[in-house]
């Protein structure tokens, strides 16, 4: 079983308003993202909330596979949120996908391909690539969970990936969505126009 941790706890300071609530087709991005994830083979989806949690939580799709987790230390950054998600993950999970909420346009079929490939290959880490460039969501084996747990909140998540660089499977996919993220309204508009889902 592969779980997914969605990081939706950041303060979105550069965006000027909560990024998970950015509108697509007049709907909040986090609603569409959670809806897309429910179309995949994922059996567990943990949405980690922090800043603006009370506004974001009601927009997450209601489904038995989705659980919202609150990170009281969200101001410390993504590592603290990922660690919070790992604390809540099922003991049956063999691996976990890491998906920031500001990488919302990965196709469901791409996520299924990532899950299926990871399940058949005993690598510590799987990173999808598009035209040679690594993107999201990477998958981390359960063998690394304890290592992530020992990271300080200030350490970048990439620390573990760098330590295990020789244990990474790079998976080419035909989905530019794995690379498309945003921090500003201008970046959001640019990628929104490129993706059919966003219209």
Angle at 72 between CA 70 and CA 7, to 5 degrees: 50
Please list the ranges in the chain whose pLDDT falls under 50: 198-199
Distance from C-alpha of 46 to C-alpha of 61, rounded to nearest angstrom:
12
What are the residue boundaries of the structural domains of the chain, listed by start? 2-198
**Helix 29-37 and helix 108-120: axis angle, to 10°?**
40
Give Cα 26 to chain centroid, integer Å: 22
pTM: 0.95
31 backbone dihedrals φ, ψ, rounded to 5°: -70, -45
Give the architecture (CATH level 2) of 2-198: Alpha-Beta Complex (3.90)
pLDDT at 197 (0 to 100): 53
Tokens 């659980």, residue located: 67
Amino acid 198: pLDDT: 44
pLDDT in the model for residue 50: 97
DSSP result, 45-97: EEEEEBTBHHHHGGGSPP-TTEEEEE-TTGGG-HHHHHHHHHHTS-TT-SEEE
pLDDT for position 33: 95
């Amino acid at each position: 079983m592969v779980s997914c941790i969605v990081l939706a706890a950041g303060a979105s300071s550069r965006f000027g308003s909560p990024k998970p609530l950015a509108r697509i087709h007049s709907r909040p991005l986090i609603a569409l993202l959670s809806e897309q994830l429910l179309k995949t083979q994922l059996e567990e989806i943990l949405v980690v909330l922090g800043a603006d949690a009370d506004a974001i939580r009601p927009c997450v799709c209601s489904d038995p596979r989705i659980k919202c987790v609150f990170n009281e230390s969200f101001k410390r950054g993504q590592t603290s949120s990922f660690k919070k998600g790992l604390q809540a993950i099922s003991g049956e999970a063999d691996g976990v996908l890491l998906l920031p909420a500001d990488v919302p346009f990965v196709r469901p079929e791409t996520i299924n391909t990532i899950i299926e490939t990871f399940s058949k290959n005993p690598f510590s880490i799987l990173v999808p690539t598009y035209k040679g460039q690594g993107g999201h969501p990477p998958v981390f084996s359960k063998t690394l969970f304890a290592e992530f747990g020992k990271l300080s909140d200030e350490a970048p998540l990439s620390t573990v990936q760098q330590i295990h660089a020789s244990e990474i499977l790079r998976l080419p996919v035909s989905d530019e969505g794995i690379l498309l993220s945003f921090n500003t309204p201008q970046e959001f508009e640019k990628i929104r126009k490129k993706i059919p889902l966003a219209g």
